[in-house]
């Protein structure tokens, strides 16, 4: 890929995470496929993991490599589900053509 081509970022959803998995552990697992720009495990108001999280990759190929390499793999005793994140319900599309 030349330096003039711009790959759009890709956000991944990590589901069925063990509540014992930390953000540092998750980052260590995905980094061999590509360094995430952001990574977050969603927590409840008390600070406990809700069992899912998100990671955004500047390079979509790295994100796809994470899906190929880790989706369905057992992490801390649970088979993690990884896929492209979808917009939240109620979020409006970025642009609407008339």
Q: Give me the residue spans of the domains in the chain.
A: 10-84
Tens digits of residue pLDDT in 69-96: 999 999 999 999 999 998 877 665 554 4
55, 70 contact by CB (below 8 A): no
Question: Regarding the domain delimited by 10-84, which CATH topology (the fold level of the hierarchy) does it fall under?
Answer: Alpha-Beta Plaits (3.30.70)
Q: Could you count the other beta carbons within 10 Å of the beta carbon of residue 50?
A: 11
Residues 92, 93, 94: CA angle, nearest 5 degrees: 115
Quickly tell me which residue has 């711009």 as its tokens.
6
pLDDT of residue 96: 47
- pLDDT for residue 3 is more than 60: no
Q: What sign does the CA torsion over 84, 16, 29, 89 have?
A: positive
């Amino acid at each position: 890929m030349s330096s003039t081509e711009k790959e759009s970022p890709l956000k991944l959803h990590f589901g069925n995470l063990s509540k014992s998995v930390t953000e540092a552990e998750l980052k260590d697992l995905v980094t061999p496929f590509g360094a995430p720009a952001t990574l977050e495990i969603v927590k409840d108001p008390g600070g406990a993991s809700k069992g899912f999280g998100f990671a955004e990759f500047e390079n979509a190929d790295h994100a796809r490599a994470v899906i190929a390499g880790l989706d369905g793999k057992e992490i801390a005793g649970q088979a993690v589900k990884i896929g492209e994140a979808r917009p939240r319900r109620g979020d409006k599309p970025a642009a609407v053509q008339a």
